Amino acid sequence: MTMDTVVCKKCALDSKTPGITINADTGLCQFCENYTPLSKEKKEEFRLQMDTLFKSPKKQGKYDVIMALSGGVDSSYALYRLKEEYPHLRVLAVQFDNGFISDTAFKNAQKFCELTKSTYFRLVLDNTLLRDTFKKAARSKDAYPGFAKYRASDMCNTCMSIIKQKLVEMAIHTKTPFIVFAFSPGQTEVPFVTLTKPFMTWIRKLFDAQMKTMGVTERNLYLMDQDTITASPPDTEVMIIHPFLVWEYNKHQFKEDIIRLGWTEPDLKDPNSSNCLLNAYAIKNHFDKYHIHSYAYDQSALVRQGNIKKEEAMKTLHTTFSDAAMKEVQRRLDQ
Q: Which residues bind another protein (CB under 8 A)?
A: 19, 30-31, 33-34, 142, 144-148, 150-151, 188-190, 193-196, 198-199, 202-203, 205-206, 209-210, 237
Whole-number minimum distance, CB 215 to another protein, in Å? 16
Chain-centroid distance, C-alpha 37: 22
Q: Distance between CA atoms of 327 and 294, rounded to whole angstroms?
A: 20
Nearer to another protein (CB atom), residue 109 or residue 137: 137
Q: How many residues are listed for the chain in this entry?
A: 335
Instruction: Give the nearest distance from C-beta 154 to another protein in angstroms.
Output: 12
Between residues 154 and 270, which has the closer beta carbon with respect to another protein? 154
> What is the residue type of 16?
K
Rounded least distance, CB 267 to another protein, Å: 32
Say if residues 317 and 291 touch (Cβ distance below 8 Å): no
Helix (H, G, I), strand (E, B) or coil at 309: coil
Pick 144 or 254: Cβ nearer another protein? 144
Name the residue nearer to another protein (CB basis): 85 or 142: 142
Nearer to another protein, 193 or 261 (CB): 193
| Contact status, residue 163 vs residue 275, Cβ threshold 8 Å | no
Longest CA span, the chain:
60
Q: Work out how close the CB of 53 gets to another protein at its nearest, in angstroms, rounded to a whole number.
A: 15
Within the chain, where are the H helices?
A: 30-33, 40-55, 73-85, 103-116, 127-139, 148-151, 154-174, 197-214, 226-231, 251-260, 278-290, 296-304, 310-317, 323-333
* Shortest Å distance, C-beta 18 to another protein: 8
Distance CA 2, CA 6 (A): 9
Provide, rounded to whole angstroms, the least separation between the CB of residue 199 and another protein: 5
Query: Cβ closer to another protein: 123 or 239?
Result: 239
The one-letter amino acid at 203: I
Indicate the residue among 202 and 231 with the shorter CB distance to another protein: 202
Spell out the residues 6+ positions from residue 108 whose beta carbon is closer than 8 angstroms to its own: 71, 72, 76, 263, 264, 266, 275
Rounded to whole angstroms, the Cα distance separating 5 from 171 reads 46
Contact present, 222 and 162 (Cβ < 8 Å): yes
Least distance CB 185 / another protein (angstroms): 13
What does DSSP say about strands 91-97 and 192-196: parallel, antiparallel, or unpaired? unpaired
C-beta closer to another protein: residue 46 or 249: 46
For the bound state, the minimum distance from the C-beta of residue 303 to another protein, rounded and expressed in Å, comes to 17
